[in-house]
Amino acid sequence: MKLLIIGGGGMIGQKLASRLATDDRLGKHEISELTLFDVVSPAGPAGAPFPVHLRTGDLSNVDEAQALVDQRPDVIFHLAAIVSGEAEEDFDKGYRINLNGTRHLLDAVCSIDGYLPRVVFTSSIAVFGAPFPDAIGDDFHTTPLTSYGTQKAIGELLLSDFSRRGMMDGIGIRLPTICVRPGRPNKAASGFFSNIIREPLAGAEAVLPVSEDVQHWHASPRSAVGFLLHAATIDAAAVGPRRNLTMPGIAVTVGEQIEALRTVAGDDVVGRIRHVTDEKISRMVSGWPRNFRADRATSLGFQADASFEQIIRAHIDDELGGTIG
């Protein structure tokens, strides 16, 4: 089985590649080769028992999309995107990458007669816009209030329509905010959710730009990889014509995040969080969804973390070698 990860240099792409290298198979099928593609040079997973090809390029270039698909991968993981804050600040760049790049990829798949790969598209809970019910169910409408959310919602519609017409076998997964993200802060407006956990655990100060009563929907990087693997192997007939699914997660307030950090790591670590309100971020966050009932995904076997404490402990084990700074 040939696999392609677009956005393979990113955090989730790298963790997915590492998991595939460890498993040496996807579902019931052995992996024959893996291609990682990104705008910056991705790193190959250590010890992979199959050939790994590393490619760089821009998916918004139609020729790049076609060259990737011409290799006829059996499963395509489409993870590449400009993150929320950057897509809002740079309108043209957001649409060029998040919309045009996706369209080029889907068009390239459809250009090959008899080719029907599984395409796993990472969407986002940003496809939903306020006002919200207490918990957003599977039938809630998609009315995004950001450019990023709009771009992802359009991608969902394209994936559904192309799959309906038998041009591909697509599954879209709306990821919760992934927390705790390792590495350096990025331009995602949601980055502070990870920063207030990651930096204190590493012995550094973190700035909290919103009030502690802000509630949000989270899943760990471990869960995100699990979602992708399950989406790649799930029976499309069980999913049915509604090809886009909200992934399960944990709804917690920022205050509950901080208390979970206190339980796991103690008062000294929590004391490294500094409250500095950012009105721009606070306004943006006020229009984000807070809680979900991901009944369809759960019934189809997608599984998330049991608690925010579990999310923190997973970060300590996976990124800090089990040691708190």
Residues labelled as active-site residues: 148
Token pair recorded at residue 105: 């990829």
| Residue among 151, 73, 152 nearest 116 (CA) | 73
Token pair recorded at residue 23: 């498993």
| Residue among 63, 54, 13, 16 nearest 35 (CA) | 54
202 HSE (CA, 13 A, CB side): 17
Token pair recorded at residue 280: 């721009």
Q: Distances from the Cα of 95 to the Cαs of 58, 102, 149, 285, in angstroms?
A: 13, 10, 11, 21
245 HSE (CA, 13 A, CB side): 28
Can you tell me the distance from the alpha carbon of 96 to that of 103, in angstroms, rounded to the nearest whole number? 10
Token pair recorded at residue 208: 């909290």
